[in-house]
Amino acid sequence: MSTPRHQALRLETLWNPPADGKDFSYVLNLKNLAAEPLSGFSLCISGPGRVDPAGRVEGATVSRRLSNFTEFQPPEGFVLGTGETWTISVHALSWQFRHWTDGATSAYLAFADGSTVSLALEPTRSAASNAPLKRGAEIFPVPASVPVQVSIIPWPNHVAVASKQPLPAGFTLQAEDPDAKAATDSFKVLVDHLFAVEGIIRSAAEGAAAVTLKNAVGFGPEAYRLSFKGEAITVEASSRTGFLYGLVTLGQIWRGARLHPRTFQFPASGEIVDEPSMGWRGLHLDVARQFYGEAEIKKLMAVLAWNKLNRFHWHLSDDEAWRVEIDAYPALTEIGAWRGHGLAVPPLLGSSPARTGGYYTKPVIREIVAYAEELGIEIVPEIDIPGHCYAMLQAIPDLRDPGEAGSYYSVQGFPDNCINPAREKTYQVIETIFSELIELFPFKTIHIGADEVPLGAWSGSPEALARLRAVAGDDIADAHAERLNVITNTHGADDIHGSGTAILQAEFLKRIQSFLASKGCITGGWEEAAHGDVIDKAKSYLCSWRNVEVSAELADRGYEIVVCPGQVYYLDMALRPDWDEPGASWAGTSDAEKLYAFDPVGGWTETQKQKLRGIQACIWSEPMTDRAVFDRLVFPRLSALAETGWTKPSSKSWERFKALAGLMPLLYGLQQS
């Protein structure tokens, strides 16, 4: 189709919230401003919001729907004349819209000959709000007066610095110890990545001050001491990461004094002695819903290191895409890594009709892993199984029982998205995939997902029902078979506790976890991996995402826990409930202050606290098509989480944090205008 036609077609979308006794409606207006009429087409949209095909749609019929991708068919013989508007009113959604990013984020017309025309699309407007839509990070300005002399996030254990000396032009690093030398190399790479033109590291010829790195006994693996004595600056530690963190603190002090010389000082005397209060301080990133290239991941690793975060949970597969190269199964990336019109996975979540997506090759993964390791970050890859496998099943369809009848749906609207736990082929494939992954990720921790398996999963599979009958008896197998074609999972994640699905999943997880343990690996899982209590608690941990009460209960049962409740630690949740804020809010909303004040072990007993591994924030990427939305949702909340994981609760201060947070780096550098 020609460019003029593209420019002459305009799609506007409007959200009408329920009001005055009227139901909600999502209205799409396609305007034809061209000089010729338009016919023989359908309208395709995608975005976080999901149209329910079983509900009422006026002006069109839903001819295809997969999760958040919807194709609307106009009435038979429909012609959109010049200057006319085709209006579609949707009264059936999986959930009502709350934010401007809920609506369509991509749209195109599809024609019978297979051609497409992409439509320019403005964000969905709300009939109840005219407020300007917010994009870009909300930056807290550094005030003229702050409660501390130096700028450091996360705040250290012990800060005792005094007086002020002129700010050095930069630093030259002197080290003899191998770990200290390695840390100096890492720090040079880090500051060049984040602040290339600032010259934190420079030569004596440019007026740099010398910093001496000394190995010292008695320090923990991430601990350090930073000392100031006139012009003598010393960093002491006993590990590469400890030295690196001492240098990061020095760099933060320097940047604060350089950028805000009337507010912050560069110390002339005193010391900072520091180590984290939690061992696991992490960030999860979903790269299946939206793809992030190598450069973006590396920059994110640098941002994590500047926040002294030490774990990166890399969510490499989901229903929407498969993102990691596997030599044994090239179809996983040939088919599963790409979305587009006419492909096995259609345009989803803002994808265009053109083939879009991507995956990480093995050389790229090795490079990213090595880069992260230099910065003190261990990477945990996640392959989400047995659910969230729609893309995997498009690539390897024989992971489904060929005799399976009927359908079940996931909470995100994907049909039949679970690999079959009763098939031997399933284990051959998964063990092969994990064997290749283990070679790429030396941390030897593999996350296997195990979340949000629908209650009706495998209810039409003869193989699964036979296995269920063998392990749990006729009554449970018969009850599970009755769930065939019953839509159970549409508006919220099913509770599968005690069901046939839970029993089959437990069988699956036990075998997979045993295999990983045989390879010397720790197994991670979302909290649903606890169903049946079958995984070895000494060789696993759980990410608890519902609430702190569930986290405490799982800790009580003996599981090691990484706390990441959706209400506060899911960074795709909007900052506030307003329409003009981007993001989701199915779990609630949480601004930086709420996240900072949140106690991840509130109400836990001392015994339960013994099972705490740490905390992590989670980025789910549905609204992240717009990278300015990423910066808004992630920063400064990421730094607020970093301070919770590092700083002792008694040393936390929101007023101090708010005064310093504006100095922390963003991933894309996109600020609210």
Distance CA 530, CA 420 (A): 19
The angle subtended at Cα 236 by Cα 234 and Cα 240, nearest 5°, is 120
Average pLDDT of the chain, as a whole number: 96
Give mean pLDDT, residues 491-506.
88
Query: Tokens 């608690």 map to which residue?
Result: 537
Distance CA 211, CA 573 (A): 42
Own/partner long-range contacts of 180-183 (Cβ < 8 Å, ≥24 apart): 180/213, 180/214, 180/215, 180/235, 180/237, 180/240, 180/243, 182/240, 182/243, 182/374, 183/213, 183/237, 183/240, 183/241, 183/242, 183/243, 183/244, 183/247
For residue 418, which of 479, 359, 463, 361 has the smallest C-alpha distance? 463
Query: Tokens 């993102």 map to which residue?
Result: 323
The fraction of the chain above a pLDDT of 90, given in percent, is: 94
Question: 3-state SS of 583-632?
Answer: CECCCCCCCHHHHHHCCCCCCCCHHHHCCEEEEEEEECCCCCCCHHHHHH
Distance CA 261, CA 165 (A): 11
CA 290 to chain centre: 10
Distance CA 222, CA 237 (A): 8
Distance CA 212, CA 208 (A): 13
Q: Please state, in angstroms and as integers, the Cα–Cα distance from residue 131 to each residue in 52, 101, 127, 627, following that order.
A: 28, 14, 11, 21
* Tens digits of residue pLDDT in 546-586: 988 999 999 999 999 999 999 999 999 999 999 999 999 99
For residue 532, which of 504, 501, 560, 506 has the smallest C-alpha distance? 506
Q: Which residues contact 43 (CB under 8 A, 6 or more apart)?
A: 11, 28, 30, 60, 71, 72, 74, 86, 88, 107, 108, 109, 110
Distance CA 109, CA 6 (A): 10
Q: Please state, in angstroms and as integers, the Cα–Cα distance from residue 302 to each residue in 370, 445, 527, following that order.
A: 13, 21, 29
What pLDDT sits at residue 625?
Answer: 93
- Give the SS3 label for residue 249: helix
Distance CA 298, CA 285 (A): 13
Structure tokens at 252: 């933060």
What pLDDT sits at residue 488?
Answer: 72
Residue 229: phi and psi, rounded to 5, are -145, 90
pTM score of the predicted model: 0.97
Distance CA 297, CA 446 (A): 19
What confidence tier does 6 reach under pLDDT thresholds 50, 70, 90? low
What pLDDT sits at residue 230?
Answer: 87
* Tens digits of residue pLDDT in 219-274: 999 999 999 998 899 999 999 999 999 999 999 999 999 999 999 999 999 999 99
What pLDDT sits at residue 1?
Answer: 36
Query: Is pLDDT of 441 > 80?
Result: yes
Structure tokens at 426: 């399933």
What pLDDT sits at residue 2?
Answer: 36
Distance CA 504, CA 481 (A): 13
Which residue ranges form the domains of the chain, and what is each CATH number?
3-126 (2.60.40.290), 135-274+647-673 (3.30.379.10), 280-646 (3.20.20.80)
Distance CA 276, CA 465 (A): 49
- Answer for the pair 444, 521: CB distance below 8 angstroms, yes or no: yes
Q: Which amino acid is at 247?
A: L
Number of neighbouring beta carbons within 10 Å of residue 174: 14
Q: Please state, in angstroms and as integers, the Cα–Cα distance from residue 136 to each residue in 582, 635, 666, following that order.
A: 10, 9, 10
* Tens digits of residue pLDDT in 464-477: 999 999 999 999 99
List strand residue ranges (DSSP E) for 516-600, in order: 522-526, 540-544, 561-563
DSSP 8-state secondary structure symbol assigned to residue 100 = G
* Tens digits of residue pLDDT in 119-134: 989 999 999 999 999 9
What pLDDT sits at residue 329?
Answer: 98
What pLDDT sits at residue 491?
Answer: 60
DSSP 8-state secondary structure symbol assigned to residue 303 = H
What pLDDT sits at residue 673?
Answer: 79
What pLDDT sits at residue 490?
Answer: 61
Element at 480 (helix H, strand E): helix 474-481
* Tens digits of residue pLDDT in 363-392: 999 999 999 999 999 999 999 999 999 999
What pLDDT sits at residue 487?
Answer: 77
What pLDDT sits at residue 484?
Answer: 87
* Tens digits of residue pLDDT in 8-58: 899 999 999 999 899 999 999 999 998 899 999 999 999 999 998 778 999
- Using the Cα atoms of residue 454, residue 456, residue 461 and residue 464 in order, give the sign of their dihedral: positive
DSSP 8-state secondary structure symbol assigned to residue 470 = H
Q: Please state, in angstroms and as integers, the Cα–Cα distance from residue 325 to each residue in 249, 383, 433, 436, following that order.
A: 37, 12, 10, 9
Give mean pLDDT, residues 422-431.
98
Q: Which residues contact 399 (CB under 8 A, 6 or more apart)?
A: 389, 392, 393, 419, 420, 423, 425, 426, 429
- Answer for the pair 358, 340: CB distance below 8 angstroms, yes or no: no
* Tens digits of residue pLDDT in 322-341: 999 999 999 999 999 999 99
